[in-house]
Amino acid sequence: MPHNAAIVGGGLTEWGERDATWKDLAQEAGKATFDDVDGIEPADVEGLFVGAVQPERFAFQSHVAPMVAELLGIDVNGMLARTELACASGQAALRYAWLAIAAGQLDVALVLGVEKMNIDREHMPEIQSNMTNVLDREFDGVNGLNGPSYFAQYAQRHMEEHGTTQEQLAMVSAKNKSLAAETDFAHYREHVDVDDVLDSYPIAPPLRLLDCSGITDGAAGVLVVSEEKAAELGVETAAYITGSGQSCMASNSVNNIPSMTTWPQAREASQQAYEQAGIEDPLEEIDVAEVHDCFSISEIIEYEQLGFAEEGEGGQFIEDGRSELDGDVAVNPRGGLLGCGHPLGATGVCQALEVYRQFAGDVSSARQVPDDPETGLIHNLSGSASVHSVMTLARDPQ
Amino acid sequence: MTRPDHTGPKDADAPTDDLLRTDGGEHSDPPRGTITLPDEVELPRLLDFYDLQDPEHTRIHEFYDNLRAGSLTTTQCTDCDAIHFPPRVVCPECLSDDLTYTDLPHEGTLTSFTEVRGTAAIGMSDDPPFVVGVVDLGPVRLSARVDNATYDELETGDAVQLKVMDIDGPTEQDRVFYRFEPL
Ligand SMILES: [Zn+2]
């Protein structure tokens, strides 16, 4: 890339069922982000990218990027936009900030992901409607498919074709939820073991309640700057964006997605990013991976498609402890979506912030990836898992 | 453009009494009124999962017309022969807009399924538990509700057959949709 871009800090809100509005969350995360980075004020921000999936449905509000600019007093004179790519909206926002800096258009960008999802519990059918329309509403959502009932079918097929077990699914949830117990902003902070997962209600069999991420309110922000600006700031730690790929294979509805067992789009997107970053052996070269564990089965398929495990061997990968904090690659040290919850637009931003914090050694020691991690990855799938987005990060510029 | 300065009067002599008063003291109570909202709203058009199916609202009305008459069909491209699902008005393989409707099999294979046991969306929130799965019809694969079966009774590979559902309310239109049931 002509210009390197780096994350130099960020902040977030408490995640959970928050007694707060969309605007409250945006302000909290914006303040936390600026408070975290010395030397950058709202007046320095030239680009603002807001990841948000459904403010129209959950907060009855659109045109949210200028709303954030107003709330944080940012006089944007470069680029501003809101990005919507369902569950990958936060990473999409980050990707546009990176591209704008790489192209030499900006030196300082704020990326903020915000989602308000919990309206009062009596309105759960409306919340579910808002989740269901992420699929092709006319032909897939209409059948009552939502997150659990859609991903349950990937689990069923993966179990049938590859012998993946209910226990292996549960191991993913137990790992991530227990790590989230060490994460101060996480929605779910209770240690969970495999039996807890197996004993939870099979809400969309074979998936059980604890195989699923939650409905979470939250926001997260990062500041992304050019390498020159990072040098000027004299930052101690940065997370440079070294590669970024996406793939959707012209698919969205059930008939057209390439497989109901696996995600070749994730393989394609990660290969694009690895090639840009010069990564040949991801398992060897990536220290920390924040992957999209919206459901336990997702992380298992992602081990395979991101190049950590052979096709069909994702279940064995978790069983052998290879994705633990001290394993071959530390996967989801903050506790992932399963533990932190999944405020849609905020998730990708939070993953990138976690990689930055892991580089900086700025997390609780109970979830710190050992031996000074220097390379990281974030991955999001979105919608019907039709789209996969992968970004690689490193402590040092390329 | 610069942002308007909202930091307040800078002139020390400027009158500030009315702006800064905090005691609420000398004001009389302001006039009060009432805004009345409806207790309930009808199912809004955009929260109805089923589209309006007539020629005035959709160019794939023929799909729904055929289904109403008892046939499951979809579009096929007359230029490149591609069969699409969902039905289209433009072929995604060659961008031709010369499409015809072709019959799909009414029997297929259930390749995956689950049971919705949590809260479902508006319009289907009284339905759980219900089975939803993926049906392979040969030329196309689609998701569908599977009626007359529970999760525990089904296996992948089971044969299923088309069931046409008439949609009751909230429009005057005679709308339809498809489901499947065990053969
Ligand atoms: Zn064609």
DSSP H helical ranges for chain B: 17-20, 61-68
Residues of A in contact with B85 (CB under 8 A): 139, 253, 255-256
A18 and A68 assigned to the same domain: yes
Q: CA–CA separation, A104 vs A121, rounded Å?
A: 47
B61 CA distance to ligand 1 centroid (A)? 20
CB-based contact, A321 to chain B, within 8 Å: no
Note the pLDDT of residue A311: 97
Option in B117, B141, B156 nearest A156 (CB): B156
| B111–A142 C-beta distance less than 8 A | no
Q: How far is the CA of B83 from the centre of ligand 1 (A)?
A: 8
**Same structural domain for residues A169 and A65?**
no
CA atoms of B157 and B172, how far apart (whole Å): 39
Amino acid at B127: D
A112 and A178 housed in the same domain: no
CB contact under 8 A, A136 and B86: yes
Q: How confident is the model at residue B1 (pLDDT cuts 50, 70, 90)?
A: very low
Q: Look up residue B83 and give its DSSP letter.
A: B
The verdict on B142 touching A (C-beta cutoff 8 Å) is: yes
Comparing C-alpha atoms, which of A97, A309, A328, A130 is closest to residue A223? Answer: A97
- Flag whether residue A125 sits within 8 Å of chain B, measured between CB atoms: yes
Q: Do A235 and A302 reside in the same domain of the chain?
A: no
Collapsing DSSP to helix, strand or coil, B43 comes out as: coil
Q: Is B82 on the interface with A (CB under 8 A)?
A: no
Domain shared by A264 and A310, yes or no: yes
Give residue A386 CA to ligand 1 midpoint distance, Å.
Answer: 22
Confidence category of residue B110, pLDDT binned at 50, 70, 90: very high
In a domain, A137, yes or no: no
Q: In this predicted model, what pLDDT tens digit does every residue of A212-264 receive, in sequence order? A: 999 999 999 999 999 999 999 999 999 999 999 999 999 999 999 999 999 99
B38 contacts: CB under 8 Å, gap ≥ 6: none
Residue A135 lies in a domain: no
Which residue of chain B has the CA closest to A125? B121
Mean pLDDT, range B64-91, rounded to an integer: 98
The pLDDT of residue A379 is 98
Q: Select from A204, A239, A274 the last residue of a domain.
A: A239
User: What tokens does A322 get?
Assistant: 């290879």
DSSP summary character for residue B29:
P
Name the residue facing A140 among B117, B143, B156 (closest C-beta): B143
Residues A273 and A225 in one domain: no
Give a yes or no: residue A259 inside a domain: yes
Pick B134's closest partner by Cβ from A124, A139, A153.
A153
Question: Is residue A128 included in any domain, yes or no?
Answer: no
Domain count, chain A: 2
Q: Catalytic: A342? A: yes
Regarding whether A59 and A149 lie in a shared domain, the answer is no
Residue B54 corresponds to which tokens in the numbers above?
């007539």
Contact B134 A129 (CB under 8 A): no
Asked if A38 and A60 count as a contact pair (C-beta separation under 8 A), the reply is no
Residue A87 bears catalytic tag:
yes
Give the list of residues 6+ apart from residue A31 with CB closer than 8 angstroms, or none. Answer: A11, A72
The alpha carbon of B77 and the centre of ligand 1 are apart by a number of angstroms equal to 5
- Inter-chain contact A141–B125, Cβ cutoff 8 Å? no
Q: Which two tokens stand for residue A143?
A: 């059948």
Mutation to test the A interface, candidates B40, B122, B143, B154, most A Cβ within 10 Å: B143
Residues of chain B with Cβ-Cβ distance to A145 below 8 Å are: 132, 143
The low-confidence residues of chain A, meaning pLDDT below 50, are: none
Q: Closest Cα partner for A178 from A204, A202, A136, A210?
A: A210
Interface of B with A in 11-40 (CB under 8 A): none
Predicted-complex ipTM score: 0.95
Quick one: A154 and A30 in the same domain? no
Q: Other C-beta atoms within 10 Å of A75: how many?
A: 13
Burial class of A365 by CB neighbour count within 10 A (0 to 12, 13 to 18, 19+): exposed
B92, closest residue in chain A (CA to CA)? A250
Query: Could you give the angle at the alpha carbon of A142 between the alpha carbons of A138 and A145, nearest 5°?
Result: 120
- Interval A98-136: pLDDT, tens: 999 999 999 999 999 999 999 998 999 999 999 999 999
Residue B20 has pLDDT above 90, yes or no: no
Say if residue A285 is in the same domain as residue A329.
yes
Question: Which pLDDT value is given to residue A146?
Answer: 92
Q: Phi, psi (5° rounding) for residue A271?
A: -60, -40
Nearest chain B residue to A75 by CA distance is B3
Average pLDDT, chain A: 97
A125 assigned to some structural domain: no
Measured CA to CA, the distance from residue A145 to residue A138 in angstroms comes to 11
Determine phi and psi for B166, rounding to 5 degrees.
-85, 135
Q: Find chain A residues with C-beta within 8 A of B111's C-beta.
A: 157, 260
Residue among B3, B118, B140 minimizing CB distance to A148: B118
Query: Do A139 and B50 count as a contact with CB atoms less than 8 A apart?
Result: no
Task: Provide the percentage of residues in chain A whose pLDDT is more than 70.
Answer: 100
Q: Which long-range contacts link A35-39 to residues 24+ away (Cβ below 8 Å)? A: A35/A11, A36/A9, A36/A10, A36/A11, A37/A8, A37/A9, A37/A10, A37/A223, A37/A233, A37/A235, A38/A233, A39/A233, A39/A234
- CA of residue B87 to ligand 1 center, whole Å: 13
Note the pTM of the prediction, 2 decimals.
Answer: 0.95
What pLDDT is stored for residue B8 in this prediction?
55
- Can you tell me the distance from the alpha carbon of A290 to that of A188, in angstroms, rounded to the nearest whole number? 17
Contact B182, B160 (CB under 8 A): yes
Nearest to A153 among B113, B120, B122 (CB): B113
The partner residues of B133 in beta bridges, in order of sequence, read B113, B144
d(CA A205, CA A213): 15
User: Three-state SS across chain A?
Assistant: CCCCEEEEEEEECCCECCCCCHHHHHHHHHHHHHHHCCCCCHHHCCEEEEECCCHHHHCCCCCHHHHHHHHHCCCCCCEEEEECECECHHHHHHHHHHHHHHCCCCCEEEEEEEECCCCCHHHHHHHHHHHHCCCCCCCCHHHCCCHHHHHHHHHHHHHHHHCCCHHHHHHHHHHHHHHHCCCCCCCCCCCCCHHHHHHCCCCECCECHHHECCCCEEEEEEEEEEHHHHHHHCCCCCEEEEEEEEECCCCCCCCCCCCCCCCHHHHHHHHHHHHHHCCCCHHHHCCEEECCCCEHHHHHHHHHHCCCCCCCCHHHHHHCCCCCCCCCCEECCCCHHHHHCCCHHHHHHHHHHHHHHHHHCCCCHHHCCCCCCCEEEEEEEECCCCEEEEEEEECCCC
CB-CB under 8 Å, B115 with A205: yes
Residues A148 and A280 in one domain: yes
From A3, A158, A187, A342, the catalytic residue: A342
B138 interface with A at CB cutoff 8 Å? no
Core vs surface per residue B36-45: b (16+ CB within 10 A) or e: eeeeeeeeee
**Which CATH number fits the domain that encloses residue A310?**
3.40.47.10
For A127, name the nearest residue in chain B, comparing CA atoms only.
B121
CA A224/CA A228 separation, integer angstroms: 12
Q: Can you give the residue range of the structural domain that contains A106?
A: 5-120+216-239
Is A131 a domain residue? no
**Residue A160 lies inside a defined structural domain of this protein:** yes
CA angle B132, B138, B140 (to 5 degrees): 60
Please indicate, yes or no, whether residues A161 and A82 belong to a single structural domain of this protein: no
> Nearest Cβ partner of B151 from A73, A146, A205?
A205
The answer to whether residues A26 and A87 belong to one domain is yes
Q: Look at residue A207 and tell me if it is in a domain.
A: yes
Nearest CA in chain A to B85: A255
Contacts of B114 in chain A (CB under 8 A): 148-149, 152-153, 156, 204-207
Strands A47-51 and A79-83: parallel
Would the pLDDT of B172 be above 80?
A: yes
CB–CB contacts below 8 A, A to B: 114
Phi (first) and psi of residue A253, to 5 degrees:
-90, 165
Chain A residues 148-167 with CB within 8 Å of chain B? 148-149, 152-154, 156-157, 160
Structure tokens that stand for A88 in this block: 């990958």
